[in-house]
């Protein structure tokens, strides 16, 4: 049952795949792999380019589906579809850039008269499991690179978004995906469990929660995996920064998408000398954000994915209050919609600080000096991305050296991402990298070839 979280209306009824359906999908992917892997790269590129053009043509309809299924504001849903066009185009372009390299052997006597090259080949069948928070673009980030590399895919879309999963299948079929190249299954835990453990699957790519990612890692055996997991969105605002710009950008990126991004700004560390100014700017900006109907083009912040998610976030804020935190604004919800929430006087072990909130909540924490800020940022099991605001190159490069994260954004927030860049984390934020070029590297295997001449 697919429901609109803002109106609590039924959007669609979607079938759940049986284990027999999953078997058929895996058989189709295995059978299609020899044909797909032999497609020349220019044909794979042309198919992905056609898919990008179809997505562009259907942008309005796709965005409306995303907004209805997830509660994401229409303006952000449109932006997601536009990014999906980029993701598919870039994946196609990268299909023509897959290359190997020469391996010098004549540095030792045994290598004399021999020439070696390292080549890349597709891994085979890719199992792709995607989340609800950017449903269309994240499916493109799995399927686009997998097909560009010559693999076949069994895709399990998020159960909250069955229509958008169906629509990506329609687009890719119309674009020219060969039969069996993409196979879509819907289902809950038993389907996902069978998918990741099935010996016909050669590679698992997953975006979602840490708990699910850890289970996949534990259950997938010796399969290669790419896991894009959680984060807690740290951003540092040093005393020499443009405080107003930092405050507005941090606020916008804490609350857009209703905070439902693994790189949403969640922890902001502000140097003591400017923390009052920073908070004044934040509290002046937050009321300008429009919280409302996701389908209204004026809305900045829609709903969380469902009432259960909103209730959990609200309970974490209440819990922090009971432990001594001060809520400067927000902290309440109506149904699945929660208003932007700014919290101070927090401690490191409060869940709104040390866990991934996945909601429109930001904690502002003062720090003494950069050593103190870096220590607090690194005091986390996550390490996805971190923002650093400072006019000093010395501060910037020290942060780059000392902060443990997959990406450091200088004079920007943890939230900044474009689709061609390498994206992924360290520590418990995941394994591997996304971005079409880097996902293709994950989804291919190297093969050494030695010529005796």
From first CA to last CA, the distance across the chain in angstroms is 64
- Assess contact for 413 and 388: CB atoms under 8 A: no
Distance CA 87, CA 161 (A): 19
Residues 55 and 190 in one domain: yes
Distance CA 282, CA 300 (A): 16
Distance CA 26, CA 379 (A): 42
Q: Report if residue 239 sits inside a domain.
A: yes
Pick the closest to residue 319 from 356, 349, 292 (CA basis): 349
Q: Which of 262, 281, 314, 442 is catalytic?
A: 262
pTM value is 0.97
Q: What CATH number is attached to the domain comprising 148?
A: 3.40.605.10
Full 3-state SS string of the chain:
CEEECCCCEEEECCCCCCHHHHHHHHHHHHHHHHHHHHCCHHHHHHHHHHHHHHHHHCHHHHHHHHHHHHCCCHHHHHHHHHHHHHHHHHHHHHHCCCCCEEECCCCCHHHCCEEEEEEEEECCEEEEECCCCCHHHHHHHHHHHHHHCCCEEEEECCCCCHHHHHHHHHHHHHHCCCCCCEEECCCCHHHHHHHHHCCCCCEEEEECCHHHHHHHHHHCCCCEEEEECCCCCEEEECCCCCHHHHHHHHHHHHHHHHHCCCCCCCEEEEEHHHHHHHHHHHHHHHHHCCECCCCCCCCCECCCCCHHHHHHHHHHHHHHHHCCCEEEECCCEECCEECCEEEECCCCCCHHHHCCCCCCEEEEEEECCHHHHHHHHHCCCCCCEEEEECCCHHHHHHHHHHCCCCEEEECCCCCCCCCCCCECCCHHHEECCECHHHHHHHCEEEEEEEEEC
Q: What CATH number is attached to the domain comprising 274?
A: 3.40.309.10
- What is the domain extent for residue 318? 234-410
Residues 305 and 197 in one domain: no
- Assess contact for 312 and 267: CB atoms under 8 A: no
Q: Report if residue 112 sits inside a domain.
A: yes
Per-residue pLDDT at 188: 78
Residues 394 and 337 in one domain: yes
The total number of structural domains in the chain stands at 2
Residues 219 and 278 in one domain: no
Q: Report if residue 415 sits inside a domain.
A: no
Q: Report if residue 417 sits inside a domain.
A: no
Cβ burial, residue 257 (10 Å; 0-12/13-18/19+): buried
Pick the closest to residue 26 from 151, 152, 166 (CA basis): 152
Residues 116 and 176 in one domain: yes
Distance CA 358, CA 86 (A): 25
Distance CA 233, CA 91 (A): 27
Per residue of the chain (453 residues), what is the pLDDT tens digit? Answer: 899 999 999 999 888 999 999 999 999 999 999 999 999 999 999 999 999 999 999 999 999 999 999 999 999 999 999 999 999 999 999 999 999 999 999 999 999 999 999 999 999 999 999 999 999 999 999 999 999 999 999 999 999 999 999 999 999 999 999 999 999 999 877 899 999 999 999 999 999 999 999 999 999 999 999 999 999 999 999 999 999 999 999 999 999 999 999 999 999 999 999 999 999 999 999 999 999 999 999 999 999 999 999 999 999 999 999 999 999 999 999 999 999 999 999 999 999 999 999 999 999 999 999 999 999 999 999 999 999 999 999 999 999 999 999 999 999 999 999 999 999 999 999 999 999 999 999 999 999 999 999
**Among this protein's residues, is 228 annotated catalytic?**
yes
Residues 444 and 404 in one domain: no
Q: Which of 228, 314, 441, 442 is catalytic?
A: 228
Q: Report if residue 9 sits inside a domain.
A: yes
Residues 225 and 88 in one domain: yes
Per-residue pLDDT at 190: 85
Residues 219 and 324 in one domain: no
Cβ burial, residue 174 (10 Å; 0-12/13-18/19+): exposed
Residues 447 and 326 in one domain: no
Residues 121 and 240 in one domain: no
**Cα of 237 vs its chain's centroid, Å:** 24
Per-residue pLDDT at 184: 98
Q: Tally Cβ neighbours within 10 Å of residue 376.
A: 17
Q: Report if residue 416 sits inside a domain.
A: no
**Among this protein's residues, is 1 annotated catalytic?**
no
Distance CA 387, CA 124 (A): 37
Residues 255 and 223 in one domain: no
């Amino acid at each position: 049952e697919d429901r609109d979280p803002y109106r609590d209306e039924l959007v669609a009824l979607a079938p759940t795949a049986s284990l027999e359906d999953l078997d058929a999908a895996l058989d189709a992917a295995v059978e299609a792999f020899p044909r797909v892997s032999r497609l020349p790269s220019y044909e794979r590129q042309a198919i992905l380019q056609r898919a990008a053009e179809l997505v562009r043509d259907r942008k309005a309809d796709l965005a409306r589906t995303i907004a209805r299924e997830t509660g994401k504001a229409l303006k952000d849903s449109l932006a997601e579809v536009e990014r999906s066009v980029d993701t598919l185009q870039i994946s196609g372009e990268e299909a023509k850039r897959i290359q190997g390299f020469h391996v010098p052997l004549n540095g030792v006597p045994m290598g004399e008269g021999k020439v070696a090259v390292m080549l890349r080949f597709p891994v085979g069948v890719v199992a792709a499991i995607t989340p609800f928070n950017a449903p269309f673009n994240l499916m493109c980030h799995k399927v686009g690179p997998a097909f560009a590399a010559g693999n076949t895919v069994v895709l399990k879309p998020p159960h909250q978004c069955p229509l958008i999963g169906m629509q990506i299948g329609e687009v890719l079929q119309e674009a020219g995906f060969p039969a069996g190249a993409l196979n879509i299954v819907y289902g809950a835990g038993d389907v996902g469990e069978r998918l990741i453990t099935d010996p016909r699957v050669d590679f698992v790519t997953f975006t979602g929660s840490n708990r699910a990612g850890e289970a996949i890692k534990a259950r997938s055996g010796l399969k290669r995996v790419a896991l894009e997991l959680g984060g807690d969105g740290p951003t540092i605002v040093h005393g020499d920064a443009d405080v107003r710009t930092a405050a507005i950008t941090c606020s916008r990126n804490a609350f857009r998408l209703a905070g439902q991004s693994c790189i949403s700004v969640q922890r902001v560390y502000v140097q003591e000398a400017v923390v009052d100014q920073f908070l004044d700017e934040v509290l002046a900006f937050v009321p300008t954000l429009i919280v409302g109907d996701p389908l209204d083009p004026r809305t900045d912040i829609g709903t969380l994915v469902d009432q259960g998610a909103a209730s959990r976030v609200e309970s974490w804020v209440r819990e922090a209050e009971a432990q001594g935190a001060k809520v400067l604004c927000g902290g309440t919800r109506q149904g699945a919609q929660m208003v932007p929430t700014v919290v101070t006087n927090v401690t490191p072990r409060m869940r709104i600080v040390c866990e991934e909130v996945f909601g429109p909540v930001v904690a502002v924490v003062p720090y003494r000096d950069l050593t103190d800020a870096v220590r607090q940022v690194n005091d986390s099991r996550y390490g996805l991305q971190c923002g650093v605001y400072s006019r000093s190159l010395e501060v910037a490069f020290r942060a780059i050296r000392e902060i443990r994260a997959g990406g450091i954004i200088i004079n920007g927030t943890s939230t900044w991402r474009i689709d061609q860049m390498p994206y992924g984390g360290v520590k418990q934020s995941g394994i591997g990298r996304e971005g079409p070029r880097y996902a293709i590297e994950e989804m291919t295997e190297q093969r050494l070839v030695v010529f005796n001449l």
